[in-house]
Structures are given as structure tokens and as C-alpha cells.
Structure 1
């Protein structure tokens, strides 16, 4: 029989989240069930709840896609996990698994569409939608569950399941390493992990920020350099400097200015999500053979690789741990840029929430 669990969800877009109960399906042969220990809060959660991505597909909608928990039940055909394992679930819980892209291990770009951990039609339950990690427990296919190294702080590791892989994937793809100069635009939830990951890969790292306000924080995170972009002088002084620029901000930027910072065959990657257009100057791209690309999170094997890399180099997020009752306040503080650098919900605080 399906299991009822406590959760926090939105009944309508642009309204506060509230305690709810939802049903988790039975564990199938290839599924694992886990009790959720921690779930990070990502700006994308807020985009769903505030209506930026359109009307809610289901009511209530339970967000959350940076999940760390312990396995409590496994299906009869599960081979990778056993009860007690520390595991994680990120942005997606299914894909077609048969298209060329899925077979290449890039399920996030599935030609038939991946299944988000929340807000997607659930292929395991026709007519139902997936519900996320702001809850006590979750059931998912073992192929979309990853092992969280026990040497990582599980609360601080939760944001790695989205923010961590989102910055790791393009840094790896575009060759961040000892011989490269990497710039990170923005120093929030994504940006601070971009700095940590790039430094762990051996790159020379510069933080690009609009003011001097985060200079000390950037140094503490390991950045080699810091440049202020607000007055525009950095775009002249640092022209033709970087091999790779990681744009982590969730708002429009002046692409011609940032593209001009790239050296020969350099790449500007946008991983921050904005629904507003950003015009591209094609001539700036042509000069120096520059590239401008976007990047989603990462495939399942790549996410596991990232977690193992994080454990090897002890890379985790800087977090503020909160209870479920503080989620709406956390949303308000994120909108006010009042967090360093990621909120993580203590999963034990969902227990006992009223229905």
C-alpha cells in the first residue's frame, strides 16, 4: 500500500508553502525508498512556487531536489544499494534510458524528456506527478540514486546534488585545471561551489562581482583574485584573460562585456537560470573564436563522479540548517540575498507537521 508522509508544499503559485501530506508509492522491484535526512533549497524550487515556470502542475506541489537520506527499503531486483546506505537524489528520477543521449550517460538532456524529481508526470504512476524532497521520505528507481560518501557531512553535501553537479559538469567539460584561468560570475549558492570546485581542479580562479562586498568571502573560499564589475573598468582591464567563465547569476548580464573577457577559444557558460532574454553580440563571439553555451546539471554517472571528487577534496556547500517551519522565511531571505550560501532543511522537522 502507498505510504502517507508529511511534507511542505504549495497549493497555489505565489502563495506561501504549508504543511501537507502526500502519498509515496509502493517500492517496486527496481526502486529504493529512503528516509530524507536533509534537503537543500534551490532557487529553481522558488521559480516553480512563484509561478516563474508557469502554473503549478499539481496541487499541492512539494519542491526539493537536493536530497540526502538513508535507504530504508529496496526492491527485489535492486543490486546497488542496501538498507542503511547513505544516498542522494538530485534533479531527476527517470528518463527514457534508450535514446542516444541517455545511453551516453547524459540523461538530463534525454531526447524524450527526463522526469524531474518534482512537478513531472510520473511514469511509475500514470496520472500522478512526482513530489520532491521537502518531505519525510521518497521512492525512486535505483538507477537515479547516487551513493553519498560517508566522509562528507550529509547536510553540507545535500546542495551538491544540484548546485554541485551544475558547476562541476561544465568545469570538467571545458577543461578547468592547473593551466586554465577560470572566472566565476556571482558568489551565491552556485558561485561559491563553482569557486571551490574550480580550485579543487587546480584552476586559477577569479570571482567577478558587482561590488567589493564579497571580496573577503571570495578569499576565504579559495579564490585567487577578485574583480569588481559594477563600474565597468574590469571589462577593460581583464579583456582577453579567461579560458572559461562560469555565469552563476539568476538574472540577465551584459553578454558582450563578459564575452570580451575571454581569451582565444574561451567559453562563457551560463548555469544560472533566468527567464529574461539576453542578446548575444555575434561579432564578439567571432572575435577570438569565443563560445557561449548553456548547461543543465549532469548525468547520473557524472553526479556520482562529482560526489567522489568532492569527498576526495572535501568540497561541500557552506550552509545554514533550518527547520521545515522556516522554509517561507528562507525563500524571503534568498530573494533578499541574505544567505551564505545555501539553506538546507533538516528532514527530521517534517515529522509531526499537521496535515
Structure 2
């Protein structure tokens, strides 16, 4: 079994340090690929710091992974050595339940359900370890093929930030004749703006300040509004077909619902630590919809990255060495990154 270098954290208040982990040899339908880049998602931080429940320490996080296959199992038919591939938030599921058959493996209803890329229990009975490492073994059905025109360092964040924003925009019909509002211009928001614009929707970004206005306009937004501007917020009430909220706090659901038209939808991607309240009259009075969304299946993730290749879409990244993971975590929490940190696995 291959031993690979990795970065792991051993406690909620710990720090990432270099270590060695063991990956299993590829089974008949599995591949092993050398990781080139791994994005840092805020979910990594919540998990590593024990904010979302039980953690299997030591933890190797990372579910935005891109690299090149170096070994394949004897029955692998979909991929070959040298192929450029990516892995997102999950690496296994039953493959046979209603959700898996529908191409939504992330919602696998078997026991224990989808196997997540890290902090889960894999088919070998061991805790899964993610992309902050030099290599990973994965079942072929959970790989995404990366088009040659998409640089690997830009492909990595698409495995989570990309599909997390593409999925709800497609599901709720973003396109020509539709008006879309994007709340927040961070790692998720700056991808949502690009997808919405490329799908043909009239797109507006909402941020606390106008500090990122130029970036938002450059990425395809037609307008950029400060949520602190009471006059503009009032003026825009009832204007949007779809509002995608990428933030975890800072804006009440009532204010978001007021932005959408009758039958319009507010889709929440963030996961606040505290419970949220809303005025149900804002839903029933205008037949509005309040929805949630959480990544997408393998088939749609492939569709998403092919769409990125076709339209020249990609994340704005800051490439960092692995030794800066701890500093990067603090910067993400403080909203100091524009817009996604990506670890260069060559530095692990």
C-alpha cells in the first residue's frame, strides 16, 4: 500500500503539521492518482475545528482535489494512467438506491449513506482522508474528468465551490429573461456570478460593502449593491426570480425573501451556526419559495466542469504552499482571501 505525505490536524484547537498516511492499493475498479492541487473550502475549517460535530482525528481535510492518474485497477474501463481527474465532496455510495440511480449520489439513502472524502468511514472500514496529501485512491465512478483546457489548479475548487453554485442555478432555471441575485462575493459567490451570467441571466451581486464591485462586474454582474444601502434594498424588493445566498450570517431571511418576485426562490447555500427565523407571511403572501442546496451528483459535476471549459469559467485563486494552511484558515474566516486558496501539493 502506498504511503504518502500529508498535512493533518489532531484537535479542534490544533494546527496542521506534516505527516504520512497510508492509501490502499487500487482495487479492481479503483484508481490511484497523484494529487496536484487541493482547494481550501470553509467546510474544511468548520470540520477541522470541530464546529460541525464529531471528527475523526487526526484529520486530513480537502474535498476540492485535482490530479493525474498513476495506477488503475484491473477492471477499470472509464479511465487510464495519465488522465486528468478531480474528486469532490464524496468518494463512494451504494450506487443502487433511488437517489444514486437518479445521479444524486450525495443523497444516498443506504446505511451509512454517501462516503465523504474526509471525516467519513470508507469501504475499508477506516476513516477517509482528503486532498491535503500527495495521492488518493478512489472508485472510478466517483471521479470527474478534467478537460484539457481547464488548468488543474483552477479545476480543484470547481469540485465543491463550482458544483455547489452551478446546481441550484440550473435547478431553478437561471437563464435568459431571469433576474438572479447573488448574496456574498466570496469563494462561492464569485463562482455563482460567473455561472449565472454565462447561463444568460441578468445578475446582481449583493455585498456588505462595494469593495469587490469591480471584480463582480468583471465576472459578469450587471449591478453590485451594498446591503447597507437601505434605499437600494427597498428599491429592489420584488425584483428577482432567484436569489442565491452564499453567506452563513449577516442577513436575515426576511430581507432575502423580500427581494424575490411572487413564485420566486431564495436558495440558501450557507450553514449558519445559529437557528434562523422568518416571517411565514413573506412565503405564503407571495407564493415565494425558500430552498436549500448542497453540491450535486457526479454526472452534474461533470456537466459543470465541461460548461466551465466551454465558457472559460474558473475560480480566482491564491496558490499557497502546504506550510501556510493554518494561516490560510485564519484568513478565510476573516474574509481576507480573493477568492479561493489552493494548496500546491508539490509542497507537501
TM range (shorter): over 0.9
CA drift at 1:211? 1.5
Is 1:289 aligned to 2:287, yes or no?
yes
User: The residue matched to 2:18 in structure 1 has which SS?
Assistant: strand
User: The residue matched to 2:169 in structure 1 has which SS?
Assistant: helix
User: The residue matched to 1:216 in structure 2 has which SS?
Assistant: helix
CA displacement, residues 94-115 of structure 1 (integer Å, 9 cap, x when unaligned): 1111111111001111112211
Partners of 1:30 and 1:280 in 2: CA distance: 48
CA displacement, residues 169-224 of structure 1 (integer Å, 9 cap, x when unaligned): 00000000011000000000000000011111111000011122222221122210
Question: Could you tell me which residue of structure 1 aligns to residue 33 of structure 2?
Answer: 34
Question: Could you tell me which residue of structure 2 aligns to residue 71 of structure 1?
Answer: 69
Are the equivalent residues in 2 in contact too, given 1:247–1:270 (CA < 8 A)?
A: yes
Question: Could you tell me which residue of structure 1 aligns to residue 48 of structure 2?
Answer: 49
Structure 1 segments unaligned to the other structure (5+ residues)? 351-355
Question: Could you tell me which residue of structure 2 aligns to residue 353 of structure 1?
Answer: none
Partners of 1:270 and 1:24 in 2: CA distance: 36
Question: Could you tell me which residue of structure 1 aligns to residue 177 of structure 2?
Answer: 179
Partners of 1:167 and 1:49 in 2: CA distance: 23
Are the equivalent residues in 1 in contact too, given 2:2–2:22 (CA < 8 A)?
A: yes
Question: Could you tell me which residue of structure 2 aligns to residue 116 of structure 1?
Answer: 116
CA drift at 1:14? 2.0
Are the equivalent residues in 1 in contact too, given 2:86–2:155 (CA < 8 A)?
A: no
Partners of 2:210 and 2:225 in 1: CA distance: 8
CA drift at 1:231? 4.0
CA drift at 1:228? 1.2
Question: Could you tell me which residue of structure 1 aligns to residue 225 of structure 2?
Answer: 227
Between 1:244-253 and 1:314-323, the stretch displaced more is: 244-253
User: CA separation of 1:108/1:234 partners in 2, compared to 1, >3 Å: closer, same or farther?
Assistant: farther
Is 1:165 aligned to 2:163, yes or no?
yes
Are the equivalent residues in 2 in contact too, given 1:235–1:258 (CA < 8 A)?
A: no
TM norm structure 2: 0.97
Question: Could you tell me which residue of structure 2 aligns to residue 105 of structure 1?
Answer: 103
Is 1:17 aligned to 2:16, yes or no?
yes
Question: Could you tell me which residue of structure 2 aligns to residue 314 of structure 1?
Answer: 312
Partners of 1:106 and 1:325 in 2: CA distance: 35
Are the equivalent residues in 2 in contact too, given 1:235–1:260 (CA < 8 A)?
A: no
Residue number among 293, 310, 332 corresponding to 1:334 in the alignment: 332
Query: What is the 5 A alignment of 1:221-260?
Result: 221-251=219-249, 253-260=251-258
Partners of 2:229 and 2:306 in 1: CA distance: 40
User: The residue matched to 1:212 in structure 2 has which SS?
Assistant: coil
Are the equivalent residues in 2 in contact too, given 1:252–1:278 (CA < 8 A)?
A: no
Partners of 2:58 and 2:23 in 1: CA distance: 14
CA drift at 1:252? 5.2
Between 1:14-23 and 1:238-247, the stretch displaced more is: 14-23
Are the equivalent residues in 2 in contact too, given 1:65–1:132 (CA < 8 A)?
A: yes
Partners of 1:136 and 1:211 in 2: CA distance: 39
TM norm structure 1: 0.96
User: The residue matched to 2:286 in structure 1 has which SS?
Assistant: helix
Between 1:225-234 and 1:69-78, the stretch displaced more is: 225-234
